[in-house]
Structure formats: structure tokens, C-alpha cells
Chains A and B, each alone.
Chain A
Amino acid sequence: MNEIFPEPVYRHGILRTTKAWRQHKERYGLVGSKCRACGTLWWPGRKVCGKCNSQDMENYRFSHIGKLCVHHAGQLAFSGPPVEGFEVYGGARVFAFVELPEGVYVGATDLVDCPPDKVKDGMSVHMALRKLRREANGNWQYGYMWVPAET
């Protein structure tokens, strides 16, 4: 290794910070869409209503509480190299679908601050903003996770 030939870092692509930033409202605040024409709520947000095709959409901030619909805890039956930046989680992730009171589902999404053996489908959870990973460009990426609503 020297100045001309630096240590190689194996990455197949490095994304600009703006790529992740574009979705900060969704990832930080669970902001989706509501169709002004037919009233349908959409998570994630969208520009065209998938029900009536109206382009008259507005931001809609979904509830930050929900119910665990189905989850996985423990080792995966099949595993391989993790997505870049998520090595730190190892095999300890508990992940799930969360059903919001508005009738939409969020997931796959992480459940944290709860021992795996205490996780139960149907339990109430609320949203928490957490570090997701360090991106290949060096910046921290944040996003929603879920914690038990009742302790």
C-alpha cells in the first residue's frame, strides 16, 4: 500500500447522501400519502393513487403506535453475507410487520429494546427513531424502529 495504490475497499457502489435524504420524512416521521380524491391512505407515500389514479395527493403522517402482526426472532434458517453496513446487528435482529391503526402495514421493520423471548404477536409497539447503519459514503443513516408500548 502507498499513495498511488491505496488499500482497496470492496464496494460495488457508493450512493450520495441525497439518495437517503430524499426519504427522510418517511423514515423519520412515518409520513405517507393520502389521496385527496378518494381518501385512500398509502404507506409508503406515492405520487399517484393506486386506487383511483388521482395525482392529487397530500402528505399524511401515520400513527406512531401499532400492533405487532408477525415477527421473526432468532437465527435465520438460511443466511449469507449481510447487506453492507448491517454487519453490526449479527444474528440478533428481531424483525416484524407492524399494523397501524389506519389499516396499513409497515415492514419488514426492527423491534428493539425487547428481549426476543418477550416478543409476542399482537403486542402494542410505538415508533422510535434509531441509527440504521453507516452508509458506504461514511454518513449515518437513521430510520424508524419499534419498541414495546407496554413494559
Chain B
Amino acid sequence: MRRVAIAGVGMTPRTEEYMRQSDSKSWKDYVIESGYNAIHDVRRGLNPRDIDYVVINYHGEASVEAGGIGPIVSDILGIHPVGVTVITANCTGAGVSMHDAYSLVASGRYNRVLVIGFDKRWDLLNFGDKRAIGGDVDYDFNFGYDHPHLQALLQAYAYQKWGKKKVLQAMAAYRMQMVWWGTRNPNAALWGVKTSTTREELFDIIDHIGEDAPVPSEFWEKLPKTYAVEGGSSMILVPADDAKAYTDTPIYVDGMSYKCNSHLLSKQMHYPTPALEKYDICDFAATHLATAEAYEMANVKPEDIDIAELFESHITSLIPTLAATLVPDPDKVLDFIIDGETGFGGRLPTGTDGGRGGLGLTSGSNFSDGIYEAVVQMRGEAGERQVKKADVAVVTGMQGEMASSSVAVLRSK
């Protein structure tokens, strides 16, 4: 197996100004823009014709007008007859794409593989149906449940497990951090957004909530919002031995893993096999298993990890993905968040682009968005939000309702 490096990254902005153009942009525009951004990011130049394979992904069925989009992608990028593998794995699709692309380069099969994740969210009139295919279609979808329902159940279970106030405090603390990061990222949906809410205000509301009382609407109104947007992001993988021919600052992919459990949450409550039976729906088994495998592959320990780009748009996904990094004490993950350890200057800066919620939730590109930000931070090019030390990064994605998880460990040296 050859060591693999990232030679270039690209993305389409998720800002309000850019999203105003979404009616005039098709999924093909996002594929072309993000793909060519990555090509142009290869500092010593890369001829598009030298790309020898593409792995691409999007949210899933019904998202675009043609399911078998490989030949279209090869055509619109102007790289015919290069082959294209098409993957659909909801929000961690780009992690699965990267996993496959990594194998293609590591094995020696190809030398320059382009990975693209994208989402064209608003072309579908009944967006609820599209969102619901991120769950178990035979049960969740047929019974009328989509993400907001299932996330509400997950959150109710989190209240049982960790206490309502603690969960809400962690959520409020993280959202305020999200605002800090996102308003300093010119690509983020939060760019230019003003918020008057303070952490103290949110904590004051939480202090007055009884454990059995509903969360007051005032809390949800004041809580900084996450943004559902569309666009694409991409990366170019090359053999590490050749990386300096493309760029002075290659970022090395030393760990890459992808694991599945189940779409259906009730199965995650009880799946009687040794690998899964100790986990419940708040643990997110797949992310623990994938993170452990990626760490082992990269030969890193939790104390080596400097930054994290996790799938943290919901508190119910932040807690397990952060726990899986093993950086916080497993019993103190919520305290770690509340104490600001995931913020600027904290032990593990997390979601430094604004996170999935603040950069903008873009189903097919969530994972490649995380890779983009990790690369920018590891190159030292993040400007005002640049963290002090970013030598080792972990990037984590999740699919649907915790159904699967992809994890990458990156090194700058």
C-alpha cells in the first residue's frame, strides 16, 4: 500500500450571497465549480486531462434528475473517457467516496483521483421526501418519519441519558462557538450574519427549565440557527511520494475507515452482535468503530489529535462523534463542550469552518467540506480562525440517523 496525500481541495461557497444564485445553478454547476476549484488549488499545476479517475457522491435517490450520473460527470468535467464511480450515502457520502478513492491510489491502481461530494437540495419540490430517504425507507419513510422526528427522539433519549439541562447547555455552548467560527469564514453560511444572542442568555433560560418541563420556545428562537444549503466540495488524492510535484503543502491521509450499523434507530437500540451490542442510539456505534480503526491505521493516539471536523450539526451527533475521538474523558464529553474545549484556544478546536451547521449543511459534501477545512487549517491558511497547532486532524462523517460513519486521520508531515 502506498501512502496517500491530498494535493488540492475546492469548494463552492455557502454564503447567503452565493445561495441567492441557487435557482440558476444546477447540480452540474456545483460539480464543475468544486472540481475545478480543487484542480486550480494544485499549486504546481494539474492538467484536468491528467486526472485518471473520479469518485463522486450525492445525497441519494431523487436528489438529481438522473441516477446514473457517472458519464455525465466525466463529460461535463471535460475528461472523457475517464471512469467515474457514483456513490450515495447521504451526509457521509463524500467520506465513502474518499475511502474508495484512497484505496484506488494506495493500491497503485490510479495516481490522480478526484473526489467530489455535492448536493442540489432545492430542485425537489417535496423536500421532506428527499430528506426522509436518509432514514430507513421501509419503516421510517413509510411511517412518515424524517430527520426532524428522529432527531427529536434521539434528543429525548439524550435528555434521559445525560440530563436535559446538561444537553441543552452543551448545545447552547457549541452553537455559540459555531457562530464564532462561522462568522470568520468567508465561505460559510454564517458569513456576515449578525447575532445578538449571548451564551449567558441561553444558559439563563436553561437554568429555569424543569427536567420534566418542555423547552420554552424562547430558547429555540434565541439559539443560533444551523443552515441547510447546497453546493459541492472536492479533493485530489495522489501518491505521497509524488505529492511535492503538485504542491509544497501536501496533507497526508494516514487513516481512513468506514463502518456501518443500521439506518433504523430501533435496531441501534438493540443489535445482538458482539461488535454492536454495547452501544445504544446515543453512542453511534459506527463512529466509535471507524475512529478506532482509522487511529490504528494512522498509528495516532488521542493526545496526538489537534483539530476535529466532525458531523456535529445536532447535539446528538456531536456528543458521540466527539466521544469517539477519545480526546475528552468518555464520562465528561458534555463538560468538555460546555467548558469551551472545542472552541478557539480549546484543547480540540472542532468545526472550525463553522461546522456542518454553520458552514452550511450540504448532505453530499458534508465530509469533503470537513476535509477542505482541515486542509486549510493544516496549511496555516485559515486567517482569523487559524488554530495554533494543526498537525494532526480527524475528520468524521455520519449517514442518515447514525447509520454509518467514515473517518479520516490527516497529518501535515
Residues on A lying within 8 angstroms of B by beta carbon are 10-13, 20, 23, 27, 40, 43-44, 50-51, 69-72, 74, 76-86, 89, 93, 95-97, 99, 103-110, 121, 132-133, 141, 143
CB distance from A150 to the nearest CB of B (A): 20
A-B contact pairs, 24 of them (CB 8 A): A11-B126, A12-B124, A12-B126, A23-B142, A40-B272, A51-B272, A70-B156, A71-B153, A72-B152, A72-B155, A76-B148, A78-B148, A80-B148, A82-B144, A83-B141, A89-B144, A95-B152, A105-B266, A105-B270, A107-B266, A108-B149, A108-B266, A132-B144, A143-B143
Contact B160 A121 (CB under 8 A): yes
CA distance A49 to B138 in the complex (A): 19
Q: Beyond A43-B266, A51-B273, A70-B156, is A12–B125 a contact (Cβ under 8 Å)?
A: yes
- Identify the 8 closest CB pairs spanning chains A and B, nearest first: A86-B144, A105-B266, A81-B128, A105-B269, A72-B152, A76-B148, A107-B266, A70-B157
**Residue contact B143 to A110, C-beta cutoff 8 Å:** yes
**Given A72-B153, A83-B132, also A106-B266 (CB < 8 A):** yes
With contact pairs A107-B266, A109-B143 given, residues A12 and B129 touching in the complex (Cβ less than 8 Å): yes
- The residue among A10, A72, A109 with the most chain B CB atoms within 10 A of its own CB is A72
Contact-residue bracket for chain B: 35 or more
Bound-state Cα–Cα, A82 to B128, Å: 5
- 8 A Cβ contacts from B114-165 to A: 124-132, 138-146, 148-153, 155-157, 160
Contact of B143 among A74, A81, A108 (CB under 8 A): A108
Cβ–Cβ contact A44 & B138, under 8 A: yes
Determine if B18 is an interface residue (Cβ-Cβ < 8 Å). Answer: no
List, in ascending order, chain A residues with CB within 8 A of B76's CB: none
Q: Are B146 and A83 in contact (CB under 8 A)?
A: yes
Bound form: Cα–Cα A76–B145 in Å: 12
The docked-state distance in angstroms from the alpha carbon of A133 to that of B150 is 19
Are A10 and B126 in touch, CB under 8 angstroms? Answer: yes
Check if B271 sits within 8 Å of A50, measured CB to CB.
yes
Contact B266 A77 (CB under 8 A): no
On chain A, the residues within 8 Å of B126 by CB distance are: 10-12, 81, 84
Contact, CB under 8 Å: B129 / A132: no
Contacts of B156 in A (CB 8 A): 70-72
Give the distance in Å from the alpha carbon of A121 to the alpha carbon of B283 in the complex: 20
Report the minimal beta-carbon distance from B227 to chain A, rounded to whole angstroms. Answer: 12
**B62 near A: Cβ within 8 Å?**
yes
Q: How many Å lie between the Cα of A84 and that of B124 in the bound state?
A: 13
How far is it, in angstroms, between the C-alpha of A77 and the C-alpha of B152 when the chains are bound? 8
A100 to chain B, nearest CB (A): 10
**Cβ of B153 and Cβ of A74 under 8 Å apart?**
no
Beyond A105-B270, A108-B266, A109-B143, 18 additional pairs, beta carbon < 8 A: A12-B125, A12-B130, A44-B139, A44-B264, A70-B153, A70-B156, A74-B214, A79-B148, A81-B126, A82-B146, A83-B129, A83-B132, A83-B141, A85-B144, A89-B144, A95-B145, A96-B153, A97-B269
A69 to B129, CA, bound (A): 27
* Pairwise interchain contact B270-A103, C-beta atoms closer than 8 A: yes
Main SS class of interface, B: helix
Which A residues are CB-close (under 8 A) to B125? Answer: 10, 12
Which residue of A is nearest B160, CB measured? Answer: A70
Q: State whether A81 touches B144 (Cβ < 8 A).
A: no
From A71, A80, A95, A99, B127 is in contact (CB under 8 Å) with A80
A23 to B136, CA, bound (A): 14
Q: B409 contacts the other chain (Cβ, under 8 Å)? A: no
Give the chain A neighbours of B267 by CB distance below 8 A.
105
B152, A97: Cβ atoms closer than 8 Å: no
* B149 interface neighbour in A50, A69, A70, A72, Cβ under 8 Å: A72
Q: Closest A residue to B135 by CB, please name it.
A: A108
Bound-complex Cα distance A83 to B149 (A): 11
B292 at the interface (CB under 8 A from A): no
Measured CA separation A10–B269 after assembly (Å): 37
Q: Which residue of A lies closest to B277 (CB)?
A: A51
Q: Which of B258-288 contact A (CB under 8 A)?
A: 264-267, 269-273
Residues of B within 8 A of A96 (CB): 153
Contacts of A12 in B (CB 8 A): 62, 124-126, 129-130
Q: CA separation between A82 and B149, bound complex, in Å?
A: 10
Q: Once the chains are docked, how many angstroms separate the CA of A108 from the CA of B129?
A: 17
Name the B residues within 8 Å of A133 (CB-CB). 144
Residues of A near B149 (CB, < 8 A) are 72, 76, 93, 95, 108
* Nearest CB in chain A: distance from B124 CB, A: 6
A23 cross-chain contacts in B, Cβ below 8 A: 138, 142
Query: What is the CB-to-nearest-CB distance from B239 to chain A, in angstroms, rounded to a whole number?
Result: 38
- Specify which of B124, B144, B160, B265 lies most central, judged by the most chain A CB atoms within 10 Å of its CB: B144
Contacts of A121 in B (CB 8 A): 160
Residue of B nearest to A96 (CB): B153
The residues of A that contact B270 with a CB separation of less than 8 Å are: 103-105
Question: Assuming the A-B contacts A12-B62, A44-B264, A83-B128, are A95 and B142 also in contact, with contact meaning beta carbons closer than 8 angstroms in the complex?
Answer: no
In the assembled complex, which residues on chain A have CB atoms less than 8 Å from the CB atom of B152? 72, 76-77, 95
- Expressed in whole angstroms, the minimum distance between the Cβ of A52 and any Cβ of chain B is 9
